[in-house]
Structure 1
């Protein structure tokens, strides 16, 4: 019984001693952190205010080491968290084929962003080289990569619409001059019988490490309508007839099959088509057959076909 009591008292003393030891250490640690020290810290560089004519390359430094005089608390913070320093690129100077920030300008920019209780003593370099390069810009058309399968008796009413239809690219001239167009990702649409609109990403060419594109996505849309067919009887016109002769064709009209939307077909008539047979195509041969050609057809129709591509004729002297 006595041994158990003694053992309990010893455990209690150990706990009390450990608590006092921890408190003493914390007090010592906080006291030391309150003192001023000279040491080094790392800062992440954030480049800003780039001129429109320049772009930041991938070889720019993104870390800088500085010697500081400040409290231990501040150094502890820098050990745990890397602080960011904004670098104003508009103050760069062009020297020996490259862009640099002098040590004086670099220190001034950093001093303006450090707390008042921090003194900047030195940097790990006497100047900062910034990887910048001259850029050109141009607009490039966008092409839709579209797999469209329409339901039977439906047509694409008009052209595919891409919004926006072009993209601006900035980069070195030797890079952007190689780009002729930019394609969208593949859009596969099956059994379509209604208007469609799809947002899709763009596929950028590889090897353009220093080029920047203004957008990354576009909208591809199209109008889909149901179509019908209508037959028109169109007169045949013969051209390049020899002087002093006239031609009679058999028949003198040809059947034209036109496919379009129902609304569009209601607006059409035979006079909207021009079917021509060119006598000069015979080139002196004795054939009595002429080939027919659709010379004019109305806009906004899906398809126009001739029932027959040839016509017989008789040449008569006037």
Structure 2
């Protein structure tokens, strides 16, 4: 019984001693943290106020080392959370082919962002090289990588509409000058019988590491209409005849196939078409065939085709 009581008392003493030891350690630790120290800390760089004529390259430094004098609490905080420093790029100077922020400029900008209980003692470098380059800007047209398949008697009415149709490209001259157009991602549509609209990403060429684009996606749309066909019997007109002669063609009327909307076909007449045969094409050759040419065709139709490529003829003296 006595031994058990003694053992319990000893355990209690150990626990009390351990508690006092822990409290003493914490008091000592907090006391030391409250004192001032000099040490180095890394700051994450955030570049701002970039001039319109310059762009930030991929090789710009992301961190900056500085020697600070502050409390241990502050250094403990820096160990867990990196502090961010904003650097005003508009204050760069051009030296020996490089854009740099001098030590004086760096110290001034950093000191303005440090709290009153932190003193900047020194920087890990006497200047900061900033990867900047002159901007070249131009507008580049967008082309659609498009495959369309229509239902019978349907067709695309007019040109595709791409919004935006131009992309503003900014970057170094040796990269921007290589761009003639930007292509969309592939679009394949089948069995079309109605208007369509698709938003698609742009496919940017590889190797343009320092070039930026005003848009990454565009909208491609088109109007789909139903069409019909109509055949017109158009007389053949022979031109460039020799003086004192006339020509009779066989046949003297040829067929022209026109594709358009039904309403547009109703508006058309023979006067909207012209088919010519140039006698001068023979150039003195002994032939009796003249090739035909569609010399006049209506607007706002989808297709006009001559059904006969040539005619026979007989030359007669007047």
Shorter chain as denominator, the TM-score bin is over 0.9
The corresponding residue for 1:56 is: 56
Shift of 1:169: 1.3
Q: For residues 123 and 193 of structure 1, what CA distance do their matches in structure 2 show? A: 69
The corresponding residue for 1:296 is: 296
Q: How does 1:65-104 map to 2 (within 5 A)?
A: 65-104=65-104
Deviations 1:187-208 (A, max 9, x none): 1112221111111111111111
The corresponding residue for 1:142 is: 142
Question: Unmatched 5+ residue regions in structure 2?
Answer: none
Q: For residues 159 and 169 of structure 1, what CA distance do their matches in structure 2 show? A: 25
CA contact (8 A) 1:45 1:63 kept: yes
Comparing 243-252 with 155-164, greater Cα deviation is found at 243-252
CA contact (8 A) 1:157 1:300 kept: no
Deviations 1:155-175 (A, max 9, x none): 111111111111111122122
Q: For residues 238 and 61 of structure 2, what CA distance do their matches in structure 1 show? A: 77
TM-score by length of 2: 0.93
Comparing 128-137 with 82-91, greater Cα deviation is found at 128-137
Q: How does 1:128-207 map to 2 (within 5 A)?
A: 128-207=128-207
Question: Unmatched 5+ residue regions in structure 1?
Answer: none
Q: For residues 147 and 303 of structure 1, what CA distance do their matches in structure 2 show? A: 19
SS at match of 1:218: strand
SS at match of 2:112: helix
RMSD: 2.0
Q: For residues 7 and 299 of structure 1, what CA distance do their matches in structure 2 show? A: 111
Shift of 1:2: 6.5
Q: 1:28 to 1:244 in 2, by over 3 A?
A: same
CA contact (8 A) 1:51 1:90 kept: yes
Q: For residues 222 and 10 of structure 1, what CA distance do their matches in structure 2 show? A: 90
Comparing 52-61 with 74-83, greater Cα deviation is found at 52-61
Q: For residues 9 and 265 of structure 1, what CA distance do their matches in structure 2 show? A: 112
Q: 1:271 to 1:34 in 2, by over 3 A?
A: same
Shift of 1:7: 5.6
Shift of 1:72: 1.5
The corresponding residue for 1:254 is: 254
Comparing 300-309 with 235-244, greater Cα deviation is found at 300-309
Q: 1:17 to 1:188 in 2, by over 3 A?
A: farther
TM-score by length of 1: 0.93
